[in-house]
Structure 1
Amino acid sequence: MTPLLSVRGLAKHYQTRSTTLKILEDISFDVFRGKVVGLVGESGSGKTTIGRSVLRLIEPTAGEVRFDGTDITKLSSAEMRRRRPRMQYIFQDPYASLSPRMTIGEILTEGLKIQGIGSRAERLERAKTALEQVELPADAIHRYAHEFSGGQRQRIGIARALTLAPEFIVADEPVSALDVSIQAQVINLLRDLQQRLGLTMLFISHDLAVVEYICDRVIVLYLGRIMEIAASEDLYARPEHPYTRALMSAIPSPDPEAKRGREILKGDIPSPANPPSGCVFRTRCPSALDACATAAPQLREVRPGHFKACIRDDL
C-alpha cells in the first residue's frame, strides 16, 4: 500500500547571528489514506513545525515530502497552489485564525475564489454545506467571527478546511484553546467527519488522552527528533521509550482507585540552539547510560510496526 503522505529526512533549521537552531532533524514517517496519525510531545518538540512543513506553509531546510507520489518540496509556487485544495490546515487558535473584517461566508469561500472554483452562488452553497457538516446553521454566512463562541469559531475553521473537499488535513492542536466542556464536542465532530468523509489526517496535540481516542498511529517527538512510532493501541499498551513512558504516566485516570506510577522528568527541554550530544533526551532520561552521550540512536523496529530511538533493550 502506498502512503498518501511520505516524509523522509525532513529538517528545519533557522540561522541566527551566533548559531543554528535545529528545530527538526531527520524526521521520517508515512500517513496512509483514511488514517489519522498523531504527533505528540512537549511544547518545543517541533510538532507544529512538522505540520506546517509538510504543507509547505514554511519551507523545510532538507528532506522530501511526497504527497500522492509527488515530492512537493520541488514544486513551483504555481504548481503548489494547484495542489492546495487537496491539503488543508486547521489552526490552533480559533480567535486569531478568522478575520474580524470578513463575514463567515467570505472566509469560507475565499479559498474557492482563489482557486477559481464555481460561481459566487455555487461557492456560497458549498460554504453552507460545510457549515451544516460542522453542525452550524447555514445563515451563519452573513455573520462575523466575533458573534460566535470559541467552540463555534473552531467549527468555522474546520468548515473552511472542508469547503475545498481536501483529502488530507493537518489539525494543529484544534481543541487546546477551548474550554474542557467544549473540547469533547469538537473532537467527536472531527472523528465523525474523518470517518464519514474518509479524510486522512495529521493530528497534532500535547494531550495523549485525546490522541489515543482519535489516532490510528502515534509519533512521539522530543526536541525535533522522533523517539517512538507505533500503532496507537500498541503504544498505549506497551510504550518502549523512556520519554513515552513519562508522558503516559502523566495521563489522568478516570478511576480514582487506579494506581499509576508517575515518572517526573527533571529539568526543562533543552534549547535547539544547544542540543545535547548523542541522544537528545539523555539529560532528562532516568535510564541514560554513558554511551547515550556518544551517538544519536536511530529508529529501529522492536516489534512489528513499533519503532523506538533508544540504544537500550532492557527497559
Structure 2
Amino acid sequence: MTEAPLLSVRGLAKHYQTRGATLKILQDISFDIAKGEVVGLVGESGSGKTTIGRSVLRLIEPSAGAVVFDGDDLTTLSGGELRRRRPRMQYIFQDPYASLSPRMTIGEILTEGLKIQGIGSRAERLERARKALEQVELPPDAINRYAHEFSGGQRQRIGIARALTLAPDFIVADEPVSALDVSIQAQVVNLMRDLQQRLGLTMLFISHDLAVVEYICDRVIVLYLGRIMEIATSEDLYARPQHPYTQALMSAIPSPDPDLARKREILKGDIPSPANPPSGCVFRTRCPKALDACAAAVPQLREVAPGHVKACIRDDIGYPEP
C-alpha cells in the first residue's frame, strides 16, 4: 500500500480585497509532498511562492482549500490545536537580518519556541539549543552572543538552528540563500542538504535560483501568477521541460560549458497584476506558443509522462506542439 503524503494541498487559494479590487494571489493550488521528500517551488517574483509557503503553515489564512498535514486538515484547526502541532512544522525565513531579534541572545532566540511549547527545563532547552548550533556548525559559545555579532551566512545558520531545536518533521525554507553572498550560498545549501539527509526532513524549498533547486530538490513545482504550470521530478524537469514557461525559465540557467548552453528564450513584457489576471491561461499573454483557445478556458494539470504533469490548453484539446 502506498504511504500517504506527509503534506497534501488541495484547491488552495488566497485572495485579498483592496480598494474595490480582488487580488488573486493563489488559485486552485494542489500538490503532495511525501515524507522525506524535498520539493522545490520556483517562479518569477510575484508568482505567489512565499504566499504558498506561509499559507500551508497557516502563518497567513488561506481563502479556500485544504492543507492536510499527517492526516489533519490544518485549515480546520482551532488556535490551540494548531499551536500543539507547531513544533512539527517550522519556517526558515529569507532575510537573516530581519528574522533575528537584536535584543535577544542567540540562546534566547533558539529556546523561545521550546519555552512557548512548555518543552523541557531551562537547562534542557539550552542543551537542545547547543545541539542545534552544533548541527549547523557554529560554536557552543554563540549561545551567549547577539545576532549583530555574526555574518549574514552565520545568521542564516542560526535561523536554521532555530527551526531544528523543535525537531520538526516538515520545514518551509523560503529563499534561504537569496540574501547571502554567492560565496556563502553554496556552503549553506550544502549544509541544508546534509541536514535533510541526516535528519530525514521533509521540505518545501522556495527559490528563484534554478541551479540551487536542481541540486537540492527531488521534485519541482513551477508557479506562474498564482497557478501551477508544471510538476515533475527534478531530473525530468531539467532534462525535458514541457511547459513553455518552464522552458523559458530553464533557458536562463547559466552554463559553464558553452556547448551545452540552451538557446535563451526571452519572455516579453512583465508578469500581469493579480488584480487583473488574463482570462483562461494566465501565462498566455507572454507565451510564444499561445492559441486563441488559451483565452477561453483555464488549462488543467494533465500527466504528460509518468509523474510529470503540466497545465496547457494544447493538451486539453489535443493540439500538437508547434
CA shift for structure 1 position 259 = 3.6
What residue ranges of structure 2 are gaps of 5+ in the alignment?
none
> What is the match of residue 63 of structure 1?
65
Question: TM-score scaled to structure 2, two decimals?
Answer: 0.97
Output the amino acid matched with 2:46.
G
Greater than 3 Å deviation, 4+ residue runs: 256-259
Deviations 1:42-80 (A, max 9, x none): 000000000000000000000000000110100000000
> What is the match of residue 78 of structure 2?
76
Task: Give the one of 24, 27, 34 matched to 2:26.
Answer: 24
Task: Give the one of 170, 173, 181 matched to 1:171.
Answer: 173
Equivalent pair of 2:41/2:206 in contact (CA under 8 Å):
yes
Deviations 1:229-257 (A, max 9, x none): 01111111111000000000000001134
> What is the match of residue 89 of structure 2?
87
Deviations 1:133-162 (A, max 9, x none): 000001100000000000000000000000
Range that drifts further, 252-261 or 89-98: 252-261
How many residues of Structure 1 are paired with residues of Structure 2 in the alignment?
315
Distance 2:231 2:138 in 1: 36
Output the amino acid matched with 1:66.
V
Output the amino acid matched with 1:186.
V
Distance 1:258 1:288 in 2: 28
Listed as ranges, the matches of 1:289-308 within 5 Å are: 289-308=291-310
Question: TM-score scaled to structure 1, two decimals?
Answer: 0.99
Listed as ranges, the matches of 1:1-315 within 5 Å are: 1-313=3-315, 314-315=320-321
Distance 1:64 1:260 in 2: 39
Identity value in percent: 88
Distance 1:23 1:259 in 2: 34
Deviations 1:70-127 (A, max 9, x none): 1010000000000000000000000000000000000000000000000000000000
CA shift for structure 1 position 171 = 0.2
Change in CA separation of 1:167 and 1:45 when aligned onto 2, cut-off 3 Å: same
What residue ranges of structure 1 are gaps of 5+ in the alignment?
none
CA shift for structure 1 position 258 = 3.2
Range that drifts further, 303-312 or 241-250: 303-312
Determine helix, strand or coil for the equivalent of 2:313.
coil
Distance 1:260 1:90 in 2: 33
Output the amino acid matched with 1:85.
P
**Aligned residues: CA RMSD:** 0.7
Output the amino acid matched with 1:282.
R
Output the amino acid matched with 2:251.
S
Output the amino acid matched with 1:298.
Q
Deviations 1:253-312 (A, max 9, x none): 011343421000000000000000010000000000001011010111111111000022
